[in-house]
Structure 1
């Protein structure tokens, strides 16, 4: 058998479907720590049926399902599939390829499959039994299991030896047989005890059965006479019941007639109520329409008010805009005048500039002529002339600079004057803007106060409106509840009054005396009153006295008795008050009870009577004390609170409580209390109705005080004022910024003026110095001829004139440019003013259009409002008609309900009469039922099925009763009899016979189990010893192959007399060492020892595949070579799967699977076939 492949999906870190093929003899699995290598081993253990989470490194089994990562969702299930190839028919199945699978879902459902068919875990473990393959077999070894094997933890060695020896099935069968044997012995012991007990009881039952047989013969004779007596009695009672039933049917016909009247009237009431409900619905809908019209009217009024306020506000805005336009137009006219003036100055300046330019050209021509003449003469005094020319040029430059500075000073002063004028203009405009801003701020502040006040009032109104609504709802519910309670109490009052007036429930004698005797003499039941909770209890005790008259003297009683006697009206009972004058009662406290006198209300005049009647009478506080009623002394009377039981003077009575019990007591007093309660309810109803009306009026007043529309108008006005104020503040800030800019410009001009004045003064000083130097130079040239001097003089004069003319030209040019600049500035201001006027005029036009639109909308709204007001008046009239019809229907329903109550009263009277007849019928029926029940219970005979002998129909009932009593007396004096003795005797005898048979069967089963256990013990011991001896030889050979031939090792049984249960010791003594136990060996030596033992087992019974999980970790390189050699040797018969970190082991495998995490938390595998590589060449190249 070979392992072909392993498929993992959703198991631990293997989220995706991963297939690992095991086609080669040695397969290696490598990867970094935490990559999921050991999860492959866990998957194989798990699919083979591992049930312990600890063995799979889990807290709970559901943890095997992939739990998800940051990028991946959790898997819905874990699935592992192992494929085997049954090459050597090692598995007991006809299939060549075997596939086992295990699935676990998140719901907790688990599933095993064998070749795709669902199966049990038991089927899989049974398939691999004694093959060396299993979740805990020696085929799968981890590093920690090596230590467990060496330390023999949980008898690990023995388990491996049993698996290799193939005796696991024998030990399992032995355990099953021992458990069965134990159970068999326990069953045998129980049967012995049971037989002993049954035998003792059987002898006693035999005696009882004979006595019972004689007793049954007497019972049969008693039954014969007794049944016939009950038959004749029942026949007589049945005839009486038929007469009563005929009377009841007559009264029931009258009840049916009254009930039909009630049903007819109620049907009419229901129809009227339906009509009333429709009217109410129609009224509600119409009221809703009226409210909708009111809402429209309020909306229109609000719209008109808002429109008028918008119109007023926009008119005010229009006036302000027109005022602003007027001011801007005035300023525009000023700018126009200034511009015209500047244009005139510009023309004049231009003419002056052209004139100066013409003069300059003339002077320049003269200058050039004189210069040419001078040049002809100057050759002699060229050096002096050059110097003089340089100085004259310098003086000209200085004078030119002076002229420029003077012109700039003049321009700066002009600019300052213009800025000052502009600042004054902006200041005036700013004052106007400030006034507008203050006015808007004041209006906005007043509006804020008004809005806050109105908002507070509206909030208070809404809160009060809701409070009143809640009060109306609460009082309406209370009003309805009070009216319902008043109707119920009124009906109860009328019914009770009718019963009192007609003396219902009283005998004819009492009714007669009530009509024909003194009206001032009360009946006992009318003198006493108690809370409804205690009425049933008190009435139960006083039941026999409730119809007694209470008179003052015996003469009063005698007069009434004579009256009854003379008119043949029956009898009556009387209490004589004079006889009770000295009666007093002080009840003693008793735990769990309360004196009855403490519950009653009675006049002082009659208190002695009730002290006598209720002396030593107590009421149980709780029903559960009924079980302890016998603990009370006989001299007191005890009543349960519900009236279900009464104990008095050695007498006990009780049972179920009737529906009308407790209703006779204190009728008149109850009637008075009902009347008082009805009056109070009536007053409360009137008061609630008054409050309800007041609250509704208050609610309507709150609705009329609705100021939400006004509040919305004010908020709209507030928004518009805020917009205007924002615009004003923006304009103000713009003016302030412009003013600051102009002031800054003036300050900069003043600084420049100071600077230019200083430069002008310095230039004048430089010119004076230059002229002095020029005069000295001219003096030096005095020796030159007169002609040169004359020419020079003329040239100098012409040069001065040319310079002055040029300077004058520059002045006129600067003046012209300044005027042109001023003109452009005025033109810009003019354009700005025109744009402002144009924009403001556009706003004026828009406002005028808006005002016109508002006027049109307002007129339209007013017209609609008039129409709606007229429509509302019509609707109010229709609403009044609907309300009138609604209340008329309501009064009609009230009248019909009164008729129903009258019919119900008559119906109740008839029902009371029928109930009285039915009570009489019930009494006869009870007697009849008693006869039937006696026949059924005592004689086990159904009278309706009983057929007496024809001759017995005329028998005397008294004679039959005497005979029945005779046999009954004999039966009563017979003594105790076990009625079940006959059946019990036969049943127990039969049971004893069956138990004896069971005992024999158990003894046979016990002998069979003992034989089976002995056979299993012999077979298993022989198999184990044979396997142990072979493994021992193999262990010594493998151990020495891993160490040296001189090393000593052995396997020893601790108890050779009990080889199947004793532990196995390992003796390992490498050369040169004498350890007392293998725990003293080094880690590598212990690992090699364990490996030697494992391979010894493989030699005995090779496993189809072996998995070593990092078993080679403690081994050094030399031992790794040994380990790899033995793996290679055994790989001819078994497949090996090695999980390792050791490079030498990696190099020695056929195929290497690398486990890695391509993304965090997700394990993947990749394969490399090492047989295609030459490891030695690769290692040499790496070394070089």
Structure 2
């Protein structure tokens, strides 16, 4: 994997669309200071996900968009794209090249794309995770980052080792797991509160539901006994109808069977006649094909064996992929089932909320006028506060201006002191007095500036106004013939002192306006309190409804939050399954093609073998079959005649039975009409209520007892059972939810433990490897000396800092902060290359890291670069000719048009004729 190209448009000084192509090895970027070389490095950091404008030398993100020049208008967007060769599939995308793009617009909107498809920043970070590429990885090294590596706290150095160890993905998973763990705890608390409230309501409704069940059981028994009496007559007619239908059905089956036999005999005769005529010709053709089939069978056997060997290879690969898919599919099913339950609960709770809000609507109209009054007062308060805020901002600006005035005064005094230093000897005594007074005045002004910086503007003003400069004025007037500049500095009406007085007056005026506005706000707030007191009486009327609504809203909020969490989890699992299924689909497609070929060949083979054997038997039996067919034809004709006569007699009997069935149907219809009129019940619904006639007295007695029991129960809540069932269903649902959340919490804790264990093992192994490499490379770059790395907390590897200890040749062990600029650069370079030996980044941008090195160290640096360029791609921004000399490709950055960078491809011999930093041709 390597960087193939990058395209820049509208990024800082690159106003025109610029394409830079890269090849494996070393590419050098040169050009004079201020031409935009480092903007290329900034663009790489930005497209890889840098979100802090200060890290790419800006105050806000819009600063990176080309802002225009005298001859060019500003652009509305900035876009950077990098294209990476991915033929070895290090990046988890099935594409030979991967293009990552980022855009930002002046309105603050931004876009991220992978292969022209919109994605999230999170997707880009995950794409490059553990590859050594990223905004915080070691794929971009600049002078500031070297200072940061060597100067920061030991704990801040750990990110280099984590990236090399490949545990960034695990840290990301751990962060996500901890976030889900916190959400799970919050959800569990909310669930427990809901379960407690529902359980209380459920117990109350259970008692009411029990009485309602008894009532409904009496009603059902009464209705059942009455229906059983009316069904006695119906059963008798129904049985008679069943017997009649059975007789008709039996006769019809006999008729249909007989008719089928007659048709079958006729069809068989016709078929055998044709077969007798065609069989001899068919046998002749089959004998001809027999030889051809034997040749094809041998060819099919050879092809089938070859395909089966290929299928075995793909099935082994498919089995491994299938296991991964099954594991994630099980997790996905659980998540989807949970989501289905939560969505149903959400529908129910939203229905309840809608009902509550409709009830509240009528009551809210009563307090509308009072609320309008409160809003008007609050709007005025907001306007006044905004005005106060604006005045506060102006006061701060004036205080900042006052601080600048004092600084200008100090600067003017310093310049005048410098002028006095070269005056003639006869002015020495006056100058000494002036110098003493000015020194005291300078000290007072510095103290006033410090007070302003601390926000103590009143103290600074008091200090400056209390200065006694009368004596100083007298000395200056005596000295004004040759030093009249002090008078203009301190006492001119348009000078610094007058400007200070004007700023003080403006500040006091704005503070007075703020005091008046605060009084007005106090009056409005008192009016609001009076209006709100009147609203409290109305509020009492809606408290109960709002309490119910609040409870339902909390429940809905929890369900929506839970659904959102489930949605994120489902998307993560689906992305993993999608990747596995793509691999599986390729294997399955190959297997499917091979199996299809085998199936086709085997089908042909079976067909060939069967036909061959059939041909042999058919040829041997031809004469015998022809004789048998002629005999069968004669016998069937006699049978067909007899069975046709029997068929006519059966049709006559069926007609007589159908007339009796119609009469029975009329009687049944009369009974069905009676049951529908009395009970609105169809007989089909009551088919199981038939009883023996001997039970009639017992049924009548039961009816009388049931009526009395119903009267004794008194008033009944008909909805109690349904309300209890709903509460029980909700209670069971939330119990299941609580169980699922507790199980999810245990699973998350287990995942975090596994991540910590794996991360510690990987980080410790990588640290040892880098430690060894760092010592060796340090000796190589410094031609001696020693260097080592140590963990500040070996018992807690994941949180431990990493200390760097170095001893250049001929020197004692030094703290890295005491190293010279060149030593610091070489030390950081040694650490960078030590990391590359463990896990090289596919490409690396180096921005003038060779600047502090002398000629001797440059030579060792260049040699090391050439050694590592065999495994990694380097892009170096430099002014050094020796570093330029190792570039296999060289680009020059110029500003032929002021404010607009342009890229030129250079040849090495042209660079050697110009001094370092000269503009490119």
For Structure 1 versus Structure 2, the TM-score category normalised by the shorter chain is 0.3 to 0.5
Structure number with larger C-alpha Rg: 1
